[in-house]
Structure 1
Amino acid sequence: MLTTLLKYRIRIQRLFHFSEDHTMLLWAGVVGLVGALATISFRESIHAVQWLLTGKTGSLVGIAESLPWYVRLIMPPLGGLVAGVFLVLSKRFASGAASDYMEAVAIGDGHISVRQSLLRSVSSLGTITTGGSIGREGSMVQLAAMAASFIGRITHFDPPRLRLLVACGAAAGLTSAYNAPIAGAFFVTEIVLGSIAMESFGPLLVASVVANITMREFPGYQPTYEMPPFPAIFGWEVIFFVGLGILCGFASPQYLRLLAFVKRKLKETNFPLPARLALGGLFVGLISVWEPQVWGNGYSVVNSMLHSPWAWTAVLSVLLFKVLATSFTMGSGAIGGVFTPTLFVGASIGYLVGFGVHALFPVGTSQPYAYAIVGMGAFLAAATSAPLMAILMIFEMTLSYQVVLPLMLACVVGYFVARSIDETSMYEITIKRNEDAKARLRLRSTQMRELIKPADTVLPLSASFEELSKMFLEYPVKYIYIVDDENRYQGVVSLQDVTSALLEKSDMSAKRAADFLRRDALPVITPGMSLGQALQHFLGHQGERLPTVDETGETRALLGVVYKSSLLDAYFKLNKAGG
């Protein structure tokens, strides 16, 4: 079968005279269709499990509010326990294939384990349907990417193109989840791939558009967020949206730190994974006894904020409880997305800011829901370090040009404020990419003063022949560095010259280092010399080290030596980091 599929792929390519890029666009369309179907399957699975557990489907918040308090208490920990069991089972299928689509695209070969992904998705299903405060989009995107990986492997895609096909699957999954095809493509481009190139961006867009069209063809389709018309913004009101961006920029790192802190503390308990997920679910259950609106990913609460007035105390209360519930769910190790809960936090912060602005300036300012919409984008931009994706996502959701100006300002300001505080991100791949970029910059600017080591083989001009011989016997080197009485570098004495003198068997008692001195035998390294300049000096030198001389003044003081191994190690690190 595999051979047949490969033959058909090659035959179609030859029949229509398609290049590899043209063929990639066709396969991106296939992946977009399959990714949308995978997303729909997961969504319907959620509804089916909800009906089996509670006899109801729809909003998790609505289901939670209809349940007795004791059911809200016990369902999340039981769901966490089941989810933990499936997660443990998935680890048994860990192999050379990646378990995460970001890893498969950014640093892997595009191979995603089917069995492991399916088991992790079942685990996510257990968390989501029992009230876990976590997003659905994580598993949706993972399943779409897994399907793309499977298609690429059975049609024998080479690793680079397989990685791109998996990226197309991820874009299709995100588009299907949020009805934002352009933002779906930019999500993968900004966060996963880390760069925009038409060779990759074109297929991503095709996959996203096909996925979006497929979703719209299914009955009962509706966007996740039902955005109201965005009001016209007066010029001076933009100042408040900039302030909202600043606030989101400050709040985002604290939010991410809280998620990381809870995750670290729960991991330190050393509980088995099922017990840890059950513990996280127990915290969510306890919170939901008082605040059932913490169940689920929060989109129904955001929709309510966008279409009906809320008291600021109610928004603040649900925001605080929701952040705690998300922290415990994510921190327990549950499988799912943090994307939608992040949008919830941004919407709540924006609503509170809008409430305050409208209370102070009731005339000439927008209603709180407008600030909630912009807050979603600003907080997302700050948390993901992907402002362009955040701008496009909110724009696609609202389809309003009125939102563009305040949204762009808030997103960009939020991004830069967050980066100035802490260069963390929701996604580890972004953090690793930032660390690699720092490493490249640091290595490119490396000067030899950072690699200088002490020079043990140094003698004065007046050193006797016996001292020279003794040092050569003690150290396995070819050259001894010679300095004057003020430690100024004069040149070297070569092992070859000393050996030749010994073979002559003449009296060397009167000979001194100055008699064997070679002044320009070796190139010298200076402290301010760059990595590349020093490497050029070593290319013409067969030895392991070169002397380092201070040439800033007239002293030419010997500072030490630079070893070739240290230089090459820094150079290889630079290449490995992609520099």
Structure 2
Amino acid sequence: MPPVRKLAPRHRLLPWLRRINEARRQLRDQEAMLVILSTGLGAVVGLAVSGLHMLLLAAQGLLFRLPSGGALSGLDAIPSWPYLLVPAVGGLVLGVWALLAQRIRPAEIVDPIEANALYGGKMSLWDSLRLAWLTLLSNLSGASVGMEAGYSQLGASLFSAVAQPFRLRREDKRCLTSAGAAAAIAAAFNAPLAGAFYGFELVHGSYAPRNIAIIGAAVISGTLARRAVEPHGSLFELPQVAVLPDYLLPLFIVIGLLAALTGTATMRLVSVFERMFQKTRLPVWARPAAGGLILGGMALTSPQILGSGHDAIQGHISQSWGLSAVALLLAGKLLASALSLGAGFRGGLFSSSLFLGCLLGALIVQLLTPLLPGMAEVRIPAMLAGMAAVGAAITGAPLTMVFLVLEITGNFAFTLGVLTSAFIAATVVRLTFGYSFSTWRFHLRGIPLLGAHDVGWVRELTAGRMMRGDIRRVPLHQTIAHLRQEIPLGSRKYAFAVDDTGRYAGIIDMATVHDPEISDLADVLVAADCVIGPEARVFRQDNIQAVLDQFSRTQLEILPVLDGPGTMRVIGSLTEAYCLKRYAQELDSRRSDEIGAP
């Protein structure tokens, strides 16, 4: 007989339950507790980012025989031809690993933007660890992507996982998820301002005074934790450059316009490569290997197309290349980044956009120098403006990219030019293309999202949650006289007609049923003669937006709620007035959460 496990006496569990409930109450009611929690978790994220970065550098050094302190994109040539196969072998490992993970856990991985927009900041830590691992594998293979997607996914999911057991308000969970992603970016680039605005612009979708302290605490502690492990200053070192005169502002307008074109082309090319791989009928797990093989061949011309491109940027800042070399490298990096993502490598275009912008700025100056010899002196400012502009075009976050470029270079002398290029690029892409890279990916998946603004509550507020269940069903063949007896005048305004199988057949206005003008025909007329709107109905799962659209189309004040298109059984009703009231209440509640009102 198995031993019987003794349950702890209730009086021993009560103190622990009280402490847990008290902790939940304090986190919900005191913003200071959220700031303290954010500070501690931000430091953990900073240490995790530092650990992943050091692991990546060490592994790449072994795989590609990099010199001590060197990086993949800083190579002038691949050491020997077998190393050209590293992207292909790495792609094969990535593809097989992703296939096995997909079979074990087939759910789609939710990123921080999608989590905040649709799920109130809820993310899966295990799924995020899987994505971070796949991103690390992609970077180890030399794919032309960055680690930032893995960093932000890991940071946001850690904050979300800690927040969920405390049953925080929806807006608090969204804020903590944003803080986790912000801490990761701040630690990755040693750029707290850029990290904070990454959280506001990209992940949270809005800037609210209540969120400043929470996100700010995360980025500060995350940056300090990274600096404690890997002390360093600015990511890039700039030579001494004079302050730019204002009459050169048109140059930065041109950079912004061309950056918008470059960013849009990069995003579209990713989809082009995806469709090309689909047409090859290669299995999904084999596509990264095929893409890696092509990528290795492209690296014969210049290894700088591999990896994120950070060391390559420093090389181009320190030394000027010729026109043809810069043009070829720009085209190669653009194709390599799109190919990597299109083939199935995991990562983002955050770092790649910086290198693309650097090359674009250098190319524009090279083209203008024969016409305007003095242009050679503005090569560095043009490269910085290009970095911010292409980044803003791809990410859709101009302030984030402006602060990032200024912080990673430690130079604020070119702020006006960098701002001009970034704002123009982001605006042109928004007006012509209409998407950032993240929202473009959502669009291709059929998810109608244009940012991280909280629209998930619209999907959650369904007809089934709002309906009233006290309805009256009337058979179509019932006579008006009998109906008048069952439902006296004034007892209810509407009833719902159903056929012999119980399927919905229309709405019955009881004022029409009790109309004195049809009293003489009351024994002859049946309910079917008074039916209106047989097509006017909503289903239990329809959200409030779909319900209000239906009210607008039918011009009725009440609609039946059906259980589904299969059975068409009436289970409740909704009035337009109540739906509008609930919608206004929800909007007011979201606004109150954003500004911190009680």
Count, aligned residues: 486
Matches within 5 A, 1:11-410: 19-56=29-66, 58-62=70-74, 65-68=77-80, 70-94=81-105, 98-153=109-164, 157=168, 160-363=171-374, 366-410=377-421
Aligned counterparts, 1:446-485, within 5 A? none
- The one-letter code matched in structure 1 to 2:82 is V
Give the Cα separation in 2 of the matches to 1:334 and 1:151.
29
The match for 2:520 is 501
Q: 1:121·1:139 contact (CA, 8 Å) conserved in 2?
A: yes
CA distance in 1, matches of 2:123, 2:512: 61
> 5+ residue gaps in structure 1?
440-474, 480-491, 506-529, 545-563
Q: Which runs of 5+ in 2 are unaligned?
A: 1-12, 456-504, 525-547, 562-572, 589-598
Pair 478,430 (structure 1): closer, same or farther in 2 beyond 3 Å: closer
Question: 1:44 corresponds to which letter in structure 2?
Answer: M
Equivalent position amino acid for 1:60 in 2: L
| Alignment partners' CA distance in 1, 2:551 and 2:110 | 43
Change (3 A) 1:143 1:93: farther
Residue 434 (str. 1) matches residue 450 (str. 2): yes
CA contact (8 A) 1:75 1:285 kept: yes
CA pair 93-176 structure 1, distance change in 2 beyond 3 A: farther
- Which of the two has higher C-alpha Rg? 1
* Distance in 2 separating the partners of 1:309 and 1:64: 15
Give the deviation of 1:568 after TM superposition: 9.8
Q: Deviations over 1:11-31 (max 9, x none)?
A: 6987xx995211111111112
| Distance (whole Å) between structure 2 residues aligned to residue 289 and residue 130 of structure 1 | 15
* Partner of residue 19, structure 2: 7
User: Which one-letter code corresponds to 1:344 in the other structure?
Assistant: F
Offset of residue 331 of structure 1: 0.5
Q: Residues 136, 222 of structure 1: CA spacing in aligned structure 2 closer, same or farther, 3 A cutoff? A: farther
Counterpart code for 2:422: C
Contact 2:559/2:574 (8 A) holds in 1: no
When residues 537 and 272 of structure 1 are mapped into structure 2, their CA distance, relative to the original with a 3 A threshold, is: closer
Contact 2:84 2:299 (C-alpha < 8 Å) held by counterparts: yes
Deviation at 1:274, TM superposition (A): 2.3
SS at 1:184 equivalent: helix
Q: Look up the equivalent residue of 1:36 and give its one-letter code.
A: G
- The amino acid of 1:39's aligned partner reads V
Q: Deviations over 1:265-314 (max 9, x none)?
A: 32344433320111111110111122222111111111111111111211
Name the aligned partner's letter for residue 212 of structure 1. T
> CA deviation digits over 1:125-180, x for unaligned, max 9?
22212211111211122222233233334666565433322221110111111121
Instruction: Report the Cα distance in structure 2 between the residues aligned to 1:374 and 1:166, rounded to whole angstroms.
Output: 30
- How many Å apart are 1:436 and its aligned residue? 10
In 2, distance between residues paired with 1:193 and 1:300? 31
Per the alignment, do residues 410 and 155 of structure 1 end up closer, same or farther by CA in structure 2, a change over 3 Å counting? same
Task: State the Cα deviation string for residues 203-253 of structure 1 (Å, max 9, x = none).
Answer: 111111111122222245354433445531112111111111122123322
The whole-number CA distance in structure 2 between the counterparts of 1:28 and 1:72 is 43
Contact preservation (8 Å) 2:139, 2:147? yes
**Do the aligned partners of 2:181 and 2:199 also contact (CA within 8 Å) in 1?**
yes
**Cα 1:576/1:124, change in 2 over 3 Å:** farther
Post-superposition shift, 1:264?
Answer: 2.8
Q: CA RMSD in A?
A: 4.2
How much does 1:316 deviate? 0.8
Question: Is residue 350–residue 373 contact of structure 1 (8 Å, CA) maintained in 2?
Answer: yes
Q: Report % sequence identity.
A: 24
Structure-2 separation of matches of 1:95 and 1:77 = 25
- SS of 1:195's partner is coil
Any idea what SS the aligned residue of 2:299 has? helix
Using the alignment, how far apart are the partners of 2:438 and 2:18 within structure 1? 35
For the Cα contact (< 8 Å) 2:117–2:452, is it kept in 1? Answer: no
SS of 1:189's equivalent in the other structure is helix
8 A Cα contact 1:97 1:113, kept in partner: no
The letter of the residue matching 2:521 is: L
Q: Relative to 1, partners in 2 of residues 1:133 and 1:574: Cα closer, same or farther, differing over 3 Å? A: farther
